[in-house]
Amino acid sequence: MRYTDFTPHDLLLLLQGLGVSVALFAATTVIGLLIGLSWAMLRYYRTPLLAPLTTVLAELLKNSPVLVQLFLVFFGLPVLLETDLTPVQAALITLSGNTAAFIYVIAVSAIESVGREQLETARVFGLSRWQTLRRIVAPQAAAFGLGPLAGLLVNQLQVTSLISVIGVVDLTKAGAILNLRTLKPFIVWTVIGVLYYLMARLIARVCARAETRLRAHSQWKGL
């Protein structure tokens, strides 16, 4: 049977796809933040072996296509490890790793943006490396890194649309299903595009407000 009209069930399909996209984006952002910041800490403390290893790994992840990474994880990892991966698990692993690589770069740049004279002053006053990081480096680095982080998150939100190629019924996959059933691509993809746009604007606005507040409170006032 050929369908050409929209039905109330189409709205449910869109909402389900939207929920999957938002959930995966939120989960991979949190995981990526934890991993990326951990890698940055390894570099900050110049941990032998681990610091250069994470740098190489981050370079590989951020300079290779996400779609290729997704295929490697979904098709290659189960063969290598002799295990099974669901499409959602493969998407979670791939997007978390990719996000972590870019957050690592942002974190390292933010840490290095703090003036060397502040670090020297902290050393003179006897602060440990951890105290210097917590009281001086972290607040300023967070304010510096929020702008690039906002751009990264918007980009990663758009990257989630790639997971539809391995069968995850996200917002893009829901749009493809509706497009095939209704044969109304202009309406379907306009709605999908507007939903992605609204989510991106929300992310940008939240990050902008957080950045403004952090910059207002992160000015170094001495020890």
- Contacts with 156 (C-beta within 8 Å, 6 or more apart), sequence order: 25, 28, 29, 32, 95, 98, 99, 102
Which domains are seen in the chain, by residue range? Answer: 8-217 (1.10.3720.10)
**Contact between 146 and 210 (Cβ < 8 Å):** yes
pLDDT of residue 5: 77
**Contact between 109 and 145 (Cβ < 8 Å):** yes
pLDDT of residue 217: 62
23-45 burial, b if ≥16 CB within 10 A, otherwise e?
ebbeebbebbbebbbebbbbbbe
Alpha helices (runs of H) in 45-65, residue ranges in sequence order: 50-62
Q: Which of 143, 45, 42 is nearest to 100 (CA)?
A: 42
∠ at Cα 197 (182, 204), nearest 5°? 160
pLDDT of residue 1: 46
In tens digits, what is the pLDDT along the chain, a chain of 223 residues? 455 677 888 899 999 999 999 999 999 999 999 999 999 999 888 888 899 999 999 999 999 999 999 999 999 999 988 888 999 999 999 999 999 999 999 999 888 887 777 777 777 777 777 777 777 787 788 888 888 999 999 999 999 999 999 999 999 999 999 998 888 899 999 999 999 999 999 999 998 888 787 776 655 444 4
pLDDT of residue 4: 66
pTM of the model: 0.87
**CA-to-CA dists, residue 132 to 40, 44, 151, 161, 220, angstroms:** 15, 11, 28, 40, 12
pLDDT of residue 69: 96
Q: Which of 53, 154, 40 is nearest to 103 (CA)?
A: 40
pLDDT of residue 126: 76
pLDDT of residue 136: 78
**CA-to-CA dists, residue 170 to 8, 21, 24, 160, 161, angstroms:** 18, 5, 9, 8, 7
